[in-house]
Structure 1
Amino acid sequence: MSPAPTAPDTPRPRRERRRRVLLDWSGLPRGLLLAVYALLVAVPLVVVVLTALKTSQQMYADPFGLPPNPSLANFTELLRGGRIGISFVNSVLVTSVSVVTTLVVASWAAFSIARIGGRLGLVLFAGFSLGLAVPAQVAMIPQYVIFDQLGLTNSLLGLILINIAVTCSVAIFILTGFFRTLPGELFEAAEIDGASTWQLYWRIALPLSTPSLAAVAIFLFVMHWNDLLYPLLFISDPDKATLPKALLDFKGEYTTNYPVLFAGVIIASIPMIVAYVLLQRWFVAGITAGAVRG
């Protein structure tokens, strides 16, 4: 008895063949895309640095060329009078206090939501998440009216409080996702040993959440450090202005001193670079923490 004839090989679907081709050639497009992306990031940075080393005449004569006589005069002019120094200190104070306080409050709330669980935890999480759906510009007028009635406008304290109120929702959203991935057996074992809720938070949840806290800290730092909208709305005293608001003084109605302005941009970028370098060991792990339940 002759064996049954085998069915002829059916042609692979066009989508599968296309996927195989893309996988076979994935190395070249990926490297090319990364090179293009690196150029898009590097070129503006190089232009900013070169412009900061030129005079205004040299910049308008050759915007993208090398500075004929590199000079730090723009940095000297920027720091002259001490106004930028005061604004830098104000930014450091507002940003550091806002980030630390937001992390403390958000971690408390996120840990509580994760521990409560059930419908109540879901309702609380949804309530905080609604804050992400409201654009900041929509609430600015009522926020200003409330802070003005409380006497908190034109003060660094008011700026800190509004920063905390605006960014707490996103911090709680990220941290709750991470706390939910922590094994419940850890907390149950600690509770059997007599640990209180505070000890569960301080000795178990926080040490395990270091990568996620670092990622949120960098995110909040960039938001608060670069914030210009709320300082423009709440601060009118030049001595209480933050660094982004102080840099606007170099932008006139008809002319702008771009070399000095770019020098200020470089100075304003240094703290963000330092913060990322210090926290980069936890950043990559933190940005994906809580994305998948364990």
Structure 2
Amino acid sequence: MLARLGRRAVLAVYALLVTVPLLVVLGGSLKTTAELFDSPFGPPTNPRLQNYVEVLTTQNLLRVLGNSAFVVAVSVPTTLVLASLVAYAIARLPGWPGRVLFAVFAAGLAVPAQAVMIPQYVQFDRLGLRDSLAGLMLVNVVVTLPVAVFILAGFLRTLPTELYEAAELDGAGPWTAFRRVAVPLPAPSLAATAIYLFVMHWNDLLYPLLFIDDPAKRTLPLALLDFTGEYLTDYPLLFTGVVVASTPMVVAYALLQRHFIAGITAGAVKG
């Protein structure tokens, strides 16, 4: 009984820690600056939709949303395709070659992104890829590829080898086995990985801050910095921008929630 009450108390505290800031941001996006400072935790007395109109028009957030959507739409599928190919090779290579290949990509998870930013900056500048969306997409793929390979290889390794042998008996070559076995079966893991990559690329601020100078090429997290200043921050507009930036992630998770849960539990139980 005490253990159950303790768990419920911990969950209640966690729910408050998540819900209260969320309500403050949602309510603050509908308030004026004076009302927000006067009653930060109270509901808006006169909901103000003008904040959303100003953010989407005056602040040119629609163009920034398009940049972020374009970067994510290219980066996520590219990372998934490359990670699937590498994970398939890891699962199918017998003996030490597969283990070495897996270790190489696993080692990429141990290297902090900040440790390689200066060499990346210099290389991208020399290649003419700095201050471009193409360069930003390339660095997104490079940085998130190890974790995508780690997730997908872990699932593909659990698939029985009999499935591949049966495909080979039917005359399927490596590419056919990849398309008909290695891609359809781990669909939940692919969906979970896609959501993870979407969140990582959509919320990334560090690399756009480092690589992008042109205001016309800014992504959403970088544009939100415009609402903060050295001496003054427009919190209602900042909260409105946060709500707009979070909406695509909430929608994506709501649509793919079933696949995400199936993906993170895939391979947990071995039959």
> 2:225 matched to 1:248?
yes
Structure 1 position 39, deviation (Å): 1.5
Structure 1 position 193, deviation (Å): 1.4
Per mean C-alpha deviation after superposition, the further-off stretch among 90-99 and 284-293 is 284-293
Q: Deviations over 1:107-142 (max 9, x none)?
A: 000011100031110001001111001000010000
The one-letter code matched in structure 2 to 1:166 is V
1:223 pairs, out of 200, 216, 224, with 200
The one-letter code matched in structure 1 to 2:187 is T
Following the alignment from structure 1 to structure 2, what is the Cα–Cα distance between the partners of residues 230 and 208? 34
Whether the aligned pair in 2 keeps the contact of 1:51 and 1:63 (CA below 8 Å) is yes
| TM-score (structure 1 length as normaliser) | 0.89
Task: Give every structure 1 segment of 4 or more consecutive aligned residues whose post-TM-superposition deviation is greater than 4 Å.
Answer: 291-294
The one-letter code matched in structure 1 to 2:8 is G
SS at match of 1:153: coil
1:260 maps to which residue?
A: 237
Q: Deviations over 1:196-218 (max 9, x none)?
A: 11111111111110110011111
Structure 1 position 30, deviation (Å): 2.5
Following the alignment from structure 2 to structure 1, what is the Cα–Cα distance between the partners of residues 268 and 217? 40
> 2:21 matched to 1:44?
yes
2:76 maps to which residue?
A: 99
1:283 maps to which residue?
A: 260
The one-letter code matched in structure 2 to 1:49 is L
Structure 1 position 158, deviation (Å): 0.3
SS at match of 1:137: helix
Question: Which consecutive unaligned segments of at least 5 residues does structure 2 have?
Answer: none
Whether the aligned pair in 2 keeps the contact of 1:174 and 1:216 (CA below 8 Å) is yes
Per mean C-alpha deviation after superposition, the further-off stretch among 50-59 and 62-71 is 62-71
Q: Deviations over 1:89-124 (max 9, x none)?
A: 000010121111000000000011100031110001
The one-letter code matched in structure 2 to 1:242 is T
Q: How many residues align?
A: 271
RMSD, matched Cα: 1.3
The one-letter code matched in structure 2 to 1:142 is P
Larger CA Rg, structure 1 vs 2:
1
Structure 1 position 26, deviation (Å): 3.8
Structure 1 position 292, deviation (Å): 6.0
Query: How does 1:149-164 map onto structure 2 within 5 Å?
Result: 149-164=126-141
Following the alignment from structure 2 to structure 1, what is the Cα–Cα distance between the partners of residues 16 and 96? 49
Q: Deviations over 1:153-184 (max 9, x none)?
A: 11100000000000000000111000000010
2:187 pairs, out of 204, 210, 223, with 210
2:144 pairs, out of 154, 162, 167, with 167
> 2:246 matched to 1:269?
yes
1:148 maps to which residue?
A: 125
Query: How does 1:126-141 map onto structure 2 within 5 Å?
Result: 126-141=103-118
Following the alignment from structure 2 to structure 1, what is the Cα–Cα distance between the partners of residues 2 and 159? 39
SS at match of 2:115: coil
Structure 1 position 190, deviation (Å): 1.0
Structure 1 position 261, deviation (Å): 0.4
| TM-score (structure 2 length as normaliser) | 0.96
The one-letter code matched in structure 1 to 2:176 is Q
Q: Deviations over 1:8-27 (max 9, x none)?
A: xxxxxxxxxxxxxxxx5443
1:189 maps to which residue?
A: 166
